[in-house]
Amino acid sequence: MSSPIPSAELALETKNLTHQYQSLVAINDLSLRIESKQIFGILGPNGSGKSTLFRLASTLTRVQSGDVRVAGFCVKTETEMVRKSIGVVFQSPSLDRKLTVLENIRCQAALYGLSGPDLQSRIDELTDRMGLQDKLHVRCEKLSGGQKRRVELTKGLLHRPSVLFLDEPSTGLDPAARLDLWNALVQLRDNYGTTVILTTHLLEEADKCDRIAILNEGKLVACNAPEQLRSETGETVITISTNTPESIHSILENRFSLKPAIFDQQVRVLAPNALQLLPAIMEATIAIATSITVGRPSLEDVFITKTGHKFHRS
């Protein structure tokens, strides 16, 4: 199988991409550029459009309006070249539990016409990279969650794609397995120059990415490195828990000229001078506050600032 020549600059580019299911607009005029050789996270709550974007970019769903290019190839007109350029790991496991690790890998190889010494060389390289060489003859039903994900990664990388797509890769994994998976992704980026594009609804997972795009209701609301997004949001966040959030809100707004937001029984406020104001805020609110906490902005705060509501809404 001949290999395509990937784009050295952009792993994924969308222009004015729109997609809808009947009357539901899942992707709304999305323009996004993802550079190569990084771990890029597409972050959003359920219904934000991230899985639809995953399906469009991986050629699983037909593009309705706008353009998508992957590794320099147009998804609509160069579908075969796109598929040769990408590896895909789905949210739901695609392993045959009754087959061994090696048998699962060989089934994947057959789909790409790989065989002979070249295939064996790739299997040896990938299973060594993924720490699976002592598991080759073990049935997949006997593997841990993290080991199964490593087999999925091996399958996705077997044809040497330049871009690896992962849909909610940490789903169903315990913390140790998540760390194991992340170490494998970092190795792919650092040692082999693979671009990893993953969708996630986990804020802590997105925080580890090189860059992230935050989606909400099909629209791009922010795109940058996580640390940069937090810095742009503000230096400090003060969270006040209270049974009377409206009263706290009024105090912060009228007395301190701040712009607080109420979420459930909490009042949150971001301000570059929050630490200087903290003693006065505590004095003014301590009688009706149940707790007051101070910290650096999180990606949750970024999302709230951009959308006006919490990331996970009840």
173 φ, ψ (degrees, to nearest 5) = -100, 145
pLDDT band, very low/low/confident/very high, at 194 (cuts 50, 70, 90): very high
Give 293: exposed, middle or buried? Use CB within 10 Å, 0-12, 13-18, 19+.
Answer: exposed
pLDDT band, very low/low/confident/very high, at 78 (cuts 50, 70, 90): very high
Distance CA 244, CA 264 (A): 10
Identity at 235, one-letter amino acid code: E
* 199-238 pLDDT per residue, tens: 999 999 999 999 999 999 999 999 999 999 998 887 789 9
3-state secondary structure (DSSP) of residue 239: strand
Chain region(s) in the chain for CATH 3.30.70.260:
235-296
Chain region(s) in the chain for CATH 3.40.50.300:
10-223
Q: State in words which class domain 10-223 has.
A: alpha beta
Q: What is the pTM of this model?
A: 0.86
* 133-149 pLDDT per residue, tens: 999 999 999 998 889 98
Helices (H) and strands (E) in the chain, counts: 11, 14
pLDDT band, very low/low/confident/very high, at 91 (cuts 50, 70, 90): confident
Q: Which CATH number fits domain 235-296: 1.20.1420.30, 3.30.70.260, 3.30.450.20, 3.40.640.10?
A: 3.30.70.260
| Cβ neighbour number for residue 92 with a 10 Å cutoff | 8
3-state secondary structure (DSSP) of residue 23: coil
DSSP label of 134:
G
Distance CA 39, CA 36 (A): 9
* 34-61 pLDDT per residue, tens: 999 999 999 999 899 999 999 999 999 9
DSSP label of 54:
H
Distance CA 254, CA 269 (A): 13
**Of the candidates 89, 98, 91, the residue with the CA atom closest to the CA atom of residue 142:** 98
**Of the candidates 85, 70, 59, 111, the residue with the CA atom closest to the CA atom of residue 2:** 85
Strand partners, 271: 236
Predicted local confidence at residue 312, as pLDDT: 75
